[in-house]
């Protein structure tokens, strides 16, 4: 018997799971390949991290050592790698995918408490995305919940771009073109080739800064723009993340944000101006009585 074809929203959410899972698998492998980072003497030692708050530093919080110190923390990342593999496997059953999503959601919350140094927008977007995906998985027969999850993912993604664009536009360093050379001269996010290029060409630096400001600010228009324009805007956003991965080492951003695009495309189909021709819009206007 052939499998029942997936509804549009089911297909979109499954694609979100598969793409974002690749980023989770990548991150898990990085931590598993560098166990010293999370060891007691490592840069992200739990013995140091737990002193951030009074509650976690008390003796009664020693139970957290079981999961947050090696080998417990490695077990968590190994489990996330396995769960991500399930979501990337198109042959996984719905029950397996549900367990995988719930496990990733729960451990993402745990890791927000365990790993605070180095956390960025990727971690926050992953937390948001899997909270929505978990809600959809817990209501497998409720299309309203699934549509709400897709719209929530879409809203969060577009809001992230808009907020980033407006925040940069409000900053003098970005408007004057000084922000990007400053970023590319740092050791963590820098690239000497790009820095030297922008340092020697201030006009290019300013033009690039404004292209980022305007680009991030207009990406949400992809929800209502005609289909070709919408695809161009989403391509622009994806290229932006690709450039960040290439020149700044922000490879996780690609999977966390681009992974939500299937939900964005699904929701945009209900809002695109392509759905309404000028003639159809004219018919909606009240007619003048003769």
Full DSSP string of 191-258 = -HHHHHHHHH-HHHHHHHHHHHHHHHHHGGGGGTS-HHHHHHHHHHHHHHHHHHHHHH--HHHHHHHH
pTM recorded for the entire structure: 0.85
Summarize the confidence of residues 167-196 as an average pLDDT: 88
Q: What local confidence, expressed as pLDDT, does residue 285 receive?
A: 55
Nearest to 233 by CA among 171, 281, 181, 162: 162
Q: Range with the lowest mean pLDDT among 128-142, 182-196, 198-212?
A: 182-196
Is residue 290 pLDDT above 60, yes or no? no
Give the C-alpha distances (Å, rounded to integers) separating 36 from 40, 107, 167: 8, 20, 37
Q: Region 12-17: what's the mean pLDDT?
A: 96
What pLDDT does 274 receive? Answer: 55
Residue 289 sits at the vertex; the CA angle it makes with 284 and 290, to the nearest 5 degrees, is: 135
% of the chain exceeding 90 in pLDDT: 56
* Per-residue model confidence (pLDDT) at position 23: 93
Instruction: Look up tokens 């080739």; give the residue.
Output: 193
Please compute the mean of the pLDDT values over residues 51-67 and round it to a whole number.
86
Measured CA to CA, the distance from residue 96 to residue 102 in angstroms comes to: 10
Average pLDDT of 4-26?
88
Left if phi > 0, otherwise alpha if psi is -120 to 50, otherwise beta: which for 118? left
Q: What pLDDT sits at residue 8?
A: 86
DSSP 8-state class, residue 180: H
Structure tokens at 11: 């297909």
With beta carbons less than 8 A apart as the criterion, state whether 124 and 114 touch. Answer: no
pLDDT tens for 128-141 read 999 999 999 999 98
- Between CA 120 and CA 256 the distance in angstroms is 11
pLDDT interval class at 25 (50, 70, 90): very high
pLDDT of residue 278: 44
Whether 168 and 213 have beta carbons less than 8 Å apart is answered as yes
Sign of CA dihedral 121, 127, 128, 129: positive
Question: Do residues 22 and 88 touch, judged by C-beta distance below 8 A?
Answer: yes
Distance of CA 125 to the CA centre of its chain: 4
- Residue 19 clears pLDDT 90, i.e. is over it: yes
Tokens describing residue 126: 């992953």
Extract the tokens encoding 278: 């000028």
pLDDT tens per residue across span 221-262: 999 888 888 899 999 999 989 988 888 887 888 899 999 999
pLDDT at 50: 87
| Average pLDDT value for the chain | 87
CA-CA distance, 268 to 230, in Å (whole number)? 8
């Amino acid at each position: 018997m052939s499998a029942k074809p997936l509804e549009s929203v089911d297909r979109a959410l499954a694609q979100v799971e598969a793409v974002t899972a690749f980023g989770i698998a990548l991150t898990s492998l990085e931590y598993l390949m560098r166990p010293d980072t999370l060891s007691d003497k490592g840069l992200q030692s739990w013995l140091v991290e737990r002193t951030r708050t009074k509650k976690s530093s008390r003796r009664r919080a020693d139970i957290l050592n079981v999961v947050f110190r090696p080998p417990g923390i490695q077990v968590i990342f190994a489990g996330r790698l396995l769960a991500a593999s399930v979501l990337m496997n198109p042959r996984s059953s719905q029950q397996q995918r549900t367990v995988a999503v719930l496990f990733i959601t729960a451990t993402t919350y745990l890791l927000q408490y365990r790993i605070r140094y180095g956390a960025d927008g990727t971690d926050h977007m992953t937390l948001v995305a899997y909270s929505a995906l978990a809600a959809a998985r817990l209501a497998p027969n409720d299309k309203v919940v699934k549509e709400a999850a897709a719209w929530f993912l879409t809203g969060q993604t577009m809001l992230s771009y808009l907020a980033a664009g407006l925040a940069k536009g409000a900053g003098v360093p970005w408007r004057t073109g000084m922000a990007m050379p400053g970023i590319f001269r740092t050791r963590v996010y820098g690239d000497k080739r790009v820095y030297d290029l922008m340092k020697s060409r201030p006009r290019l630096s300013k033009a690039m800064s404004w292209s980022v400001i305007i680009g991030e600010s207009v990406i949400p228009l992809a929800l209502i723009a005609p289909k070709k324009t919408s695809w161009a805007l989403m391509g622009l956003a994806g290229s932006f993340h690709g450039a960040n991965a290439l020149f700044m080492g922000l490879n996780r951003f690609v999977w966390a944000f681009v992974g939500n695009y299937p939900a964005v495309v699904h929701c945009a189909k209900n809002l695109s101006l392509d759905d309404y021709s000028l003639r159809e819009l004219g018919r909606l206007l009240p007619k003048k009585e003769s």
